[in-house]
Amino acid sequence: MPVRQESKDRRIVVGVDGSPSSCEALRWAARQAALTGSVLETVIAWRDPASYAGYSWLIADTSYADPAAKTLRVAVANTLKPEGGITVRQLVVEGNPARVLLDAADGADLLVLGHRGHGGFDGMLLGSVTQHCVSHSPCPVVVIRGHR
């Protein structure tokens, strides 16, 4: 018989990028956290786009962490009810989004991601971050497709 984790150890991780699909994933994850007594960890990843080409010195005074933190803060504030009764942690992490989410999901009970839901053939495919997380996650993954 599996050993049940104490509620303080239960975590649901949700990736948030401010998109409507990630907000739907956040809403779903919050309901699941309330049902299971889990802590909800909201995660946004950011990267310095100039560093990809080796030109990070051109905009060295620009911080992308602050806009990412604001995006996460606004998404949480606009999506979750303050009286929800769950503990919500907001994590702003520099790095590749898939890697950041997989690292955050290590030891979690569930990873929840949104899917942008393109139509037609594209709609049958998951985005690259979602696909990578589904394929490599250390815990179960739920993909929320958003509104129809």
pLDDT at 7: 47
Range of the structural domain that residue 58 is part of = 7-144
Residue 1 lies in a domain: no
Pairwise CA distance, residues 105 & 93, whole Å: 13
Residue 102 lies in a domain: yes
Number of domain units in the chain: 1
- Residue 143, Cβ neighbours under 10 Å: how many? 18
Pairwise CA distance, residues 12 & 80, whole Å: 15
Residue 71 lies in a domain: yes
pLDDT at 55: 57
pLDDT in tens, 59-114: 555 678 999 999 999 999 999 987 778 999 999 999 999 999 999 999 999 999 99
Residue 36 lies in a domain: yes
Q: Given a cut of 50, is residue 121 above it in pLDDT?
A: no
Nearest to 69 by CA among 16, 130, 33: 16
Residue 2 lies in a domain: no
Question: What pTM does this model have?
Answer: 0.83
Report, as an integer, the average pLDDT of 9-19. Answer: 95
Residue 53 lies in a domain: yes
- Residue 27, Cβ neighbours under 10 Å: how many? 18
Pairwise CA distance, residues 70 & 47, whole Å: 15
What CATH number did the domain enclosing 96 receive? 3.40.50.620
Residue 111 lies in a domain: yes
Pairwise CA distance, residues 59 & 66, whole Å: 15
